[in-house]
Amino acid sequence: MADPTFSGAPPSPADDKVGLVLQERYRIIRKLGEGGMGSVYEARHELIGKKVAVKTLNPAFAKDPGLVERFRREARAATAAGNAHIIDVTDLGTLPDGSPFLVMEYLEGTEFGDLLAREGALPVGRAVHILSQVCDALGAAHGKGIVHRDLKPENIYLIHLQGDPDFVKVLDFGISKMQEAKEGVKSLTQTGTALGTPHYMSPEQAQGLATTDHRADIYALGVILYYALSGTVPFDADSYAALVLKIFQEVPKPLVELRSDIPPELDALVQRCLAKKPEDRFASVQELERALRPFRDLTGKATMVEFAPTDPPPAPGAASPAAAARTVAGSHTDPKAVGPSTGSNTAGNATGITLPETSRRGL
């Protein structure tokens, strides 16, 4: 469930929570977004006047202990990681109807997914700068035994901070996996249950393997970097099953064949992130971040390669995956066309709600 903790959302229809004061200090101002799992509101701390975001869980799901635990886990995971590039969750409480809520910092900026949809492939240096900050956030999380498991552009938010217009905040640790059993944290992942967003899931995560670890996040970083540099995801298909089959079996088209200004070394770096076997990827996000450093200063507009069609023409109104991969300057392949994995129960729907069209933020 990604966090629409942002400014600029249009007013939503009247909501019975607007005007409520939670825990005698958080006054609900307006709804920012809603979906099947819950809603996010702009709120104000009554005592100090600070603007915050309040995320609520749909009362219907508040009866499911597993979903409530996932919701609360988001607060624990973000707090435990304690990094400037991870959204700050400051409080946790219960609504009058018994459902839980989180209080988070209110972000004013741009969703990375919206930026890519608007601008297409980014200059190498800018893409690397953004992903390096995500590495920093994940390094803190992984150091606490926390695997995000739902990294995607919609869960990366860019704000203007400390003179940087692309300062990263990583959102939504709602399906994160806390691996430190010694701290008494019970795992909510069952073998065979896939959680995440399909285009960004590693092969082992798509299988729902209980052994999935921090290297699944490294795979997702590879997908995001591929997307940021090319305007298209490595694999796409018309159905979840077909997409997962590609993730298991196919090799991504080299970036150097899609974009002429990509250094071969950077292409190899991305391909390593996307290795089928976890042991063939970077061992840590710190190692990945170090490997990215030489490419930070590369500037210039993306120069895409245009390919002549070689596949049979698609049916009227349809586009083949191969055709979608032939990215030219200014084009963009939206990887949200294939629905998220739902696993074996409702917990898998945690990634599947969206905001009004003008913001295109997921909850």
Tally Cβ neighbours within 10 Å of residue 110. Answer: 18
Residues 170, 148: contact at Cβ < 8 Å?
Answer: yes
Three-state DSSP at 158 gives strand
For 132, 144, 180, 196, 337, the CA distances from 347, given in Å and listed in that order, are 30, 24, 21, 10, 20
Report the pLDDT value the prediction gives residue 36, as an integer from 0 to 100.
62
**Tell me, which fold does domain 109-351 have in CATH?**
Transferase(Phosphotransferase); domain 1 (1.10.510)
Amino acid letter for position 120? G
For the cut 80, the answer to whether the pLDDT of residue 194 exceeds it is no
pLDDT tens digits along 63-89: 888 888 878 877 777 787 788 999 989
Three-state DSSP at 236 gives coil
Residues of the chain with CATH 3.30.200.20: 21-105
The 3-state secondary structure of 87-100, one letter per residue: CCEEEEEECCCCCE
Residues of the chain with CATH 1.10.510.10: 109-351
pLDDT tens digits along 235-247: 999 999 999 999 9
Q: Which sign, positive or negative, has the C-alpha torsion 82, 86, 88, 93?
A: negative
Residues 156, 130: contact at Cβ < 8 Å?
Answer: yes
Q: What is the DSSP string of 296-355?
A: TT--S---BPP----SPPPPTT---HHHHH---TT----TTSSPPP-TTSGGGGGG--B-
Amino acid letter for position 40? V
- Read off the pTM: 0.75
pLDDT tens digits along 159-190: 999 899 999 999 877 555 544 433 333 333 33
CATH superfamily of 21-105: Phosphorylase Kinase; domain 1 (3.30.200.20)
Query: Any idea which residues carry the catalytic annotation?
Result: 150
Three-state DSSP at 268 gives helix
State percent of the chain over pLDDT 90: 50
Query: Which of 194, 234, 137, 191 is closest to 341 using CA atoms?
Result: 194
